Structure 1
Amino acid sequence: MSAAQYEKFETLLDCLDHWAATQPNKVYFTQPFSAEKTVDYTWAQVADQVNRMAAYLQSLNLPEKTHIGILGKNSAHWIMADLAIWRAGHVSIPLYPTLNAETAEYVLDNSDSKMIFIGKMDELWRVVEKGIPTSMPTITLPLAPELKHAKKWDDIVAATAPTQNPVKRSKDEMATMLYTSGSTGKPKGVMISFNAMISALRGTSKVMSFSNTDRMISYLPLAHAAERAILETGSLFYGFHVYFSFGLDSFIQDLQRARPTLFFSVPRLWTKFYNGICGKIPLGVQHIIFRIPILSGLFKKFLLKKLGLSEVRMALSGSAPLAPALMSWYRNLGLDLLEGYAMSENFAYSHCSLPGKVRVGYVGNTYPGVECKISEVGEVLVKSPCNMMGYYKNPELTAESYTADGFLKTGDMGVIDDQGRLKITGRVKELFKTSKGKYIAPVPIENRLNGHELIEAVCVTGPSFSQPFALVMLPLEEHKQVEQNPNEAARVESEMTELLNHVNGQLEAHEKLSCIVVVKDLWSMENGFLTPTMKIKRNVIEQHYLPNAEGWVALKKPVVIEQ
């Protein structure tokens, strides 16, 4: 399709109708129902189920623009539920499947949700179940837990004719609320309009090439702005095929089935993929093979195939800074890895490194229609056509989030190079002061540590200490070996000491790390150390570890392995 043809879409419902009419028999979704069984849904079938569920929702005579929750892991029916809510004239409220009961209850209450769709949850259901009022009208999607009080999607669709009176949605209406993952404080409801969604897609189409022949795999949470903006709305706009992952155990199998041409991931997962390869083929061996012309190309193709990314023509990293060393490693393999930067508050439409204009360590140029500047204190300010309508029921915070001339205060620190490319240097609130009165920006130091094969996640901290220090989490297999084998612990200590000396040699005197502490915990979403997109929750980590930090620093050892 030409750019002019994309202009006729006012909402994503228009996109659904277009593809259902022009490619009705093309597969839209491939959904695994087990590790072995998958079901394909064509565009015509998706539109039919959406229209039937919309008719059912209309039959309930809910007030106009009722807020309806969606809780569940990614699935074909998650997106169908979203579309049905819109078609019936309502607003969708996605909830992360990893929420605990208290937070789920807060989001449903704060958002004024009156009804909920519940999808695939698996072991997460027992954690969140008590946060869902049993009195709340509930519809369960295929693969959802069995709930006695709920109606089933399949039963409703089988018994209901498609709507004959779909609600015409205005582009300026609220389509959805994205609740921020709450890495600090209570989650906030970010109100996003239909126009913000379409504007992001129109702008992207001017600088990137996507088509209905592309394939993507959906595995990052659909409740997050990035997966929603790139995969859900992108597939609706461009008409491409979406595959879903059944779970972590079958992810490689799911990836090989999908053979994605477009692939989006977050730094934590790019790091895991990298560590997985380096654990089997050490970097030293890789570098030797890379220098042999006759083997280099074949070896790079072999590595990409092993990662399941051999057919990817465009890859994207977002949600947190990617270590430059990792970015360079992937690009050296021949993967066109780009880095994006945005936030829920502008529906993931702000900056992206573009093919041919990549500068490693920078998140790229602004998308069409976006303005960016740096404030006097170094904060990144962004004016985007996709900026939020505001925070739900919080006009004061909404007002505080914008400058007088309409720029969104991102809370990130950054610099812009002479070609307009942005580099994120940290968070305004992440800066901390040492006992010497010097301010430390932890992210640039973390980026120097990330990329080492023994580091899966890192947090640089040390407020009120004379020097900062680093808390490091090992990859799972290495973590097990250190626990079981004293010789392995000694090897880790030796390699970390070498890394510490190398990194400190690149830092200013006040930034030099006093030590690296290898923690015994495995940080995860479930234990609260990571957000749903696998970013570290700095405040949670600091609250947990800082009480012990004085003892670690007093040892005056370059590397401390927590016992």
Structure 2
Amino acid sequence: MDTTNKLPLDMLYHWEKTKTNSRYMTQPIGDGKVVEYTWGRAVDEARRVASYLKSLNLPENSRIGLISKNCAQWIMTDWAIWLAGHISVPLYPTLNADTVNYILNHAECEVLFVGKLDDWDMMKPGVPESVRCISYPLSPPNDFETWDDIVAKYPPLEENVKRDAGELATIVYTSGSTGKPKGVMLSFGNMAFAAEGGMEVLGVGDNERMLSYLPLAHVFERTFVELASLYAGFQLYFAESLDTFVQDLQRAQPTLFLSVPRLWVKFQHGVLKKLPKKKLDRLLKIPVVNKLIKKKILKGLGLDRVKLAGSGSAPLASDVLEWYRNLGLELLEGYGMSENFAYSHMNKPGRSRIGYVGESLPGVETRISEEGEVQIKSPATMMGYYKDEEKTREAFTEDGFLKTGDKGEIDEMGRLKLTGRIKEIFKTSKGKYIAPAPIENRLMSHDAIEMVCVSGANQTQPHALVMLAEESRPKMADEAFRKEIEESFKQLIADVNKTVDPHEQLAFITVVSDEWSIENSFLTPTLKLKRNVVEDAYQAKVDNWYAQRRPVIWQ
């Protein structure tokens, strides 16, 4: 169908009418059981919850929060909030109580939908007493009003509510690697433009299948999963847990699959654990065996039906991209921000270039400033930051381009390469500037490394902090293992140092014993490294490391 100028609610009414009895969402509920939602049932439940929200007589455009892992109710809640004339405020399901409290107070949320969560007890103290809470079927134990009771008690809202393109639809609080989260204001028009453009580029139709498991509170999943399914009319499946992830994938048999670098690396490590790299490379060189091996590996990952695979939110090491391409999965990297609803750049099949995040998506203007900053303008760009005119002004140039804070360059085919963050660039004691991201990408080619942070402000040379891959961490006390890692890391330093300028050459690698996670605030909810937190954690030891003059140090 032609979706031109159709807003999200227009699409909702379209599928409600034309696909009433077609399956839309498959929700696992434990023990291998699932609940199926047709378009008719999903919209009916959203209309009933909208009736309930209307009955509360909240002021028009009230902010309503939702905190849950991905599930069918998450998406239906978003619709219900819009149908009731309000604004949705998603919260990451991994936030601590202080951040929950800050967001609910800053957005002045009147109501909070509480869903499937691993650590509700940690978050609960952050919810102000004045906030009315509603519980999803898979919520932790609580005494709130329940979704099922509301659906049973309230009649469906009958009118097809109209919301204007310029109206505020949602406030997305960016996790931010420093300071308090900022509330990115996105309109219905922003969402519609991103969803339509994304569909055009991906060439998706209503026969696709996707697994929704990256946080829906993040714009990447919201644009390319929730909104894409709403505009194309395809099927969504949800993951039950990390433990059942492979079974969830195999149930969904996705035709489109999106992930983030850390998970692509984990999938790769999982395969290499069973089939070492040298053996796999040897098998892939044998013509008869080659196809069978590729098919077996992709089937084992649940990705054998995937026709389009994407990676976003942070750069993926070129070796990892090559590895997947050798298996026949053309992993396409993309680039976007909360501030433009993840709609900015993407590699296109057959036109991708390793190390580049692709071409501007339809309707996106891109330029590089004199300082080398990537600046972007499109109808998907945010309305501004909620209650923060000063930061909104700082985010834009005088002629309306969004300042991304990323440094970049554009090749002859219009493909963008990100070369680092303007604010992440640090200066050595020799007065030379270093962009850590390109060096980190080279280090990530080592299959024992899961995460890396290159640092060294005010030192003579940079160094790298490294967290080992999950299967390697338990062996850190073993002498033989340490010796093996030290030898391979010495070689890694030598290899990397050959490819960089003299002032960028690494002095040493420190292997950290800590696990960098969301829970201990080393990572953002989208698994990006909080560089300042990592650097602060080890700052007191850095001078001593340099004084040791050893290539590999164990922390």
The TM-score with structure 2 as length reference comes to 0.99
What SS does structure 2 have at the residue aligned with 1:400?
helix
The Cα shift of 1:407 comes to: 0.5
The code of the aligned residue for 1:527 comes to N
Who is 1:446 aligned against?
440
Q: How far apart, in 2, do the equivalents of 1:207 and 1:121 lie?
A: 34
**Are 1:133 and 2:128 counterparts?**
yes
2:31 aligned with 1:47: no
Q: State how far apart, in whole Å, the 2-side matches of 1:75 and 1:97 are.
A: 12
Contact 2:9–2:162 (8 Å) recurs in 1: no
Query: Where does residue 72 of structure 2 map in the other structure?
Result: 76
Aligned counterpart in structure 2 of residue 6 of structure 1, from 3, 12, 20: 3
Aligned to 2:413: 419
Q: Structure 2: which amino acid aligns with 1:516?
A: I
Please tell me whether residue 510 in structure 1 is matched to residue 503 in structure 2: yes
Match for residue 276 of structure 1 among 262, 265, 270: 270
CA distance in 2, matches of 1:466, 1:135: 54
Q: Write out per-residue CA displacement over residues 524-549 of structure 1, whole angstroms, 9 at most, x where no aligned residue.
A: 11111111111111010000012111
Assess if the C-alpha contact under 8 Å between 2:444 and 2:450 holds in 1: yes
1:333 maps to amino acid: L
Once residues 35 and 339 of structure 1 are traced to their aligned partners in structure 2, the CA distance between those partners, rounded to angstroms, is 35
Q: Which residue of 1 aligns with 2:111?
A: 115
* Superposed CA offset, 1:172-217 (max 9, x none): 1000011001211110000000001111122223322111111111
**Contact 1:71/1:95 (<8 A) preserved:** yes
Would you say the 8 A contact 2:5–2:192 is kept in 1? no
- Structure 1 residue 479 corresponds to structure 2 residue 473: yes
Aligned match of 1:30: 26
Residue 173 (structure 1) aligned with residue 164 (structure 2): no
- Letter aligned with residue 479 of structure 2: P
Per-residue CA deviation, residues 482-537 of structure 1 (Å, 9 max, x unaligned), is 23x22112111111111111111111100000001110011111111111111111
Which whole-Å CA distance do the structure 1 matches of 2:363 and 2:225 have between them? 21
Give the 5 Å matches for 1:94-243: 94-122=90-118, 124-148=119-143, 150-243=144-237
Q: 1:519 aligns with which of 512, 530, 533?
A: 512
Unaligned runs of 5+ in 2: none
2:261 & 2:470 partners in 1: Cα distance? 17
Segments of structure 1 that go 5 or more residues without pairing to the other structure are none
| 1:342-393 superposed Cα distances (whole Å, 9 cap, x missing partner) | 1000001100001111011100000111000100010000011100000001
- Which runs of structure 1 show a deviation greater than 6 angstroms over 4 or more consecutive aligned residues? none
Q: CA deviation at 1:166?
A: 4.6
Pick from 322, 327, 346: which aligns with 2:321? 327
Partner AA of 2:303 in structure 1:
L
CA RMSD in angstroms, aligned pairs only: 1.0
> Do residues 495 (structure 1) and 488 (structure 2) align?
yes
Aligned-pair CA distance for 1:437: 0.7
Separation of aligned partners in 2, 1:35 and 1:231: 25
Do the aligned residues in 2 keep the contact of 1:35 with 1:246 (CA within 8 Å)? no
CA offsets, 1:11-54, max 9 Å, x none? 21111111121111111111111142111111100011011111
Say if 1:279 and 1:453, in contact at 8 Å, map to a contact too. Answer: no
Which residue of structure 2 lines up, in the alignment, with residue 429 of structure 1?
A: 423
Contact 1:35 1:250 in 2 (8 A): no
Question: Which range is displaced more, 46-55 or 12-21?
Answer: 12-21
**What is the deviation of 1:167?**
3.1
The offset of 1:168, in angstroms, is 1.7
Report the Cα distance in structure 1 between the residues aligned to 2:430 and 2:300, rounded to whole angstroms.
Answer: 48
> Match of 1:6, as an amino acid?
T
Q: Does 1:456 align with 2:453?
A: no
Amino acid at match of 2:357: V
- Alignment partner of 2:373 out of 371, 379, 383: 379
Tell me, yes or no, if the aligned pair for 2:199 and 2:228 is still in contact at 8 Å. no
In the other structure, the counterpart of 2:546 is 553
1:49-82 deviations in whole A, cap 9, x for unaligned?
0111111111111110100000111110011111
Aligned mates of 2:293, 2:287 — CA distance in 1 = 10
Equivalents in 2 of 1:539, 1:264: separation in Å? 28
Structure-2 residue corresponding to 1:285: 279
Q: Which amino acid aligns with 1:32?
A: P
Question: Aligned-pair distance for 1:279?
Answer: 2.3
In structure 1, the residue corresponding to 2:524 is in which secondary structure?
coil
Q: CA deviation at 1:317?
A: 0.3
Question: 1:247-277 deviations in whole A, cap 9, x for unaligned?
Answer: 1111111111111110000011111111122
**What is the alpha-carbon distance in structure 2 between the residues aligned to residue 161 and residue 50 of structure 1?**
11
Aligned residue in 1 for 2:13: 17
- Counterpart residue identity of residue 130, structure 2: S
In the alignment, is the contact (CA less than 8 A) between 2:198 and 2:228 conserved in 1? no
What TM-score does the superposition give when structure 1 sets the normalisation length?
Answer: 0.97
> 1:63 and 1:84, CA in 2 relative to 1: closer, same or farther beyond 3 A?
same
Asked if 2 retains the 8 angstrom alpha-carbon contact of 1:201 and 1:234, the reply is: yes
Deviations 1:320-348 (A, max 9, x none): 11111111111121112111001000001
After alignment, is 161-170 or 428-437 more displaced?
Answer: 161-170
Q: What secondary structure sits across from 2:69 in the alignment?
A: coil
* Alignment partners' CA distance in 2, 1:332 and 1:377: 37
Partner of 1:405: 399
Shifted more, 278-287 versus 67-76: the winner is 278-287
Q: Please, which moves more after superposition, 315-324 or 552-561?
A: 552-561
- 1:273-329 deviations in Å (ceiling 9; x for gaps): 111222222222222112211111211111111221111000110001111111111
Distance 2:543 2:495 in 1: 24
Q: Could you give the per-residue CA deviations for residues 391-438 of structure 1, whole angstroms, max 9, x where no partner exists?
A: 001011101111111110000000000110000010000000011111
What is the aligned length? 555
**465-474 vs 136-145, greater mean Cα deviation:** 136-145
Shift of 1:8: 5.0
Which digits, 9 at most, give the CA deviation of each residue in 1:94-137, with x for residues without a partner? 00111000010000111111111111113x11111100123311
SS of the residue aligned with 1:526? coil
- Are residue 357 (structure 1) and residue 351 (structure 2) matched? yes
Q: Determine the C-alpha separation between the residues in 1 that align with 2:208 and 2:493.
A: 43
CA contact (8 A) 1:496 1:559 kept: yes
SS of 1:459 mapped into structure 2: strand
- Contact map agreement 2:28 2:35 (CA 8 A) in 1: yes
Counterpart AA for 2:50: A
State the alpha-carbon separation in 2 of the partners of residues 26 and 553 from structure 1: 63
